[in-house]
């Protein structure tokens, strides 16, 4: 299984190079499906969303498809994800995204899809892969306040990933204190990364690539 969990997509060349190394292909040989669903519920400016798309577009992929699983029936979105080499899941509201992943049945399909495809999760797109989506994410990322409490993630990775480490512009900054508290509460390792960092997973091998800062917190 090949995964990249990023805080802000392909935000620098180091992260992009790691993706192309995982793919073993040049960008012009790669088809990418972009899943924007998590951003639908986000209320406010979406310059970050535009930036993620712009950063993808500058690498001249063979094809960039936009596939919103909340807007299309399964018979339409499933074959479009199947033909992709990379499934890029955008950030936004992790609780909203997780709801649609379960509602559409994508949670059942992902393990099979990811046998032969790379998954890139930007912020919430990566958070949903973990064991738990902590309640604190509602405050950190301005998520929907309904249905309070921690919820189960997809459990594809045995860690909790949190984005925007010490990045300003959120209601609550993800600091060392916040991450330490969450690691104890959830009982899992937390990888907190800033917008210049990504976690790269290739099978059983995990590495962090960065032009910024990150930190691992243990329970």
Q: Give yes or no for residue 148 having a pLDDT over 70.
A: no
Tell me the pTM: 0.95
Q: Residue 16: its pLDDT value, please?
A: 98
Look at 40 and 143; give whichever has higher pLDDT.
Answer: 40
In this structure, are strands 214-217 and 190-193 parallel, antiparallel, or unpaired? antiparallel
Is the Cβ–Cβ distance between 35 and 87 less than 8 Å?
Answer: yes
CATH at residue 129: 3.40.50.880
Is the Cβ–Cβ distance between 193 and 199 less than 8 Å?
Answer: yes
CA 32 to chain centre: 15
pLDDT digits (tens, 9 = 90+) for 80-97: 999 999 999 999 999 999
Number of folded domains in the chain?
1
**pLDDT interval class at 105 (50, 70, 90):** very high
63 lies in which domain range?
2-217
Q: Residue 150: its pLDDT value, please?
A: 80
CA distances to 2, 57, 75 from 201, rounded to whole Å, are 6, 23, 30
- pLDDT, mean of residues 106-133: 96
Q: Give yes or no for residue 77 having a pLDDT over 80.
A: yes
Lowest mean pLDDT segment, chosen from 10-24, 57-71, 88-102, 134-148: 134-148
- pLDDT, mean of residues 189-201: 97
Work out the percent of the chain whose per-residue pLDDT is above 70.
98
- pLDDT, mean of residues 107-118: 97
């Amino acid at each position: 299984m090949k995964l990249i969990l990023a805080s802000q997509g392909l935000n620098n060349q180091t992260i992009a190079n790691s993706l192309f190394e995982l793919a073993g292909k040049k960008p012009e040989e790669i088809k990418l499906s972009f899943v924007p669903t998590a951003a639908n519920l986000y209320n406010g400016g979406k310059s970050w969303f535009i930036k993620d798309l712009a950063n993808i577009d500058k690498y001249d992929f063979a094809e960039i498809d936009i596939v919103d699983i909340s807007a299309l029936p399964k018979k339409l979105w499933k074959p479009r994800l199947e033909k992709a080499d990379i499934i890029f899941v955008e950030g936004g509201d992790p609780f909203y995204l997780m709801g649609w992943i379960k509602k559409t049945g994508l949670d059942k399909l992902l393990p099979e899809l990811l046998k032969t495809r790379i998954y890139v999760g930007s912020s919430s797109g990566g958070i949903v892969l973990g064991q738990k989506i902590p309640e604190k994410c509602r405050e950190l990322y301005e998520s929907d306040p309904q249905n309070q409490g921690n919820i189960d993630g997809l459990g594809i990775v045995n860690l909790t990933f949190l984005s925007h480490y010490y990045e300003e512009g959120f209601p609550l900054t993800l600091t060392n204190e916040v991450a330490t508290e969450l690691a104890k509460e959830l009982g899992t390792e937390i990888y907190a990364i800033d917008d210049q960092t990504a976690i790269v997973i290739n099978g059983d091998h995990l590495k962090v690539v960065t032009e910024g800062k990150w930190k691992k917190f243990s329970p």
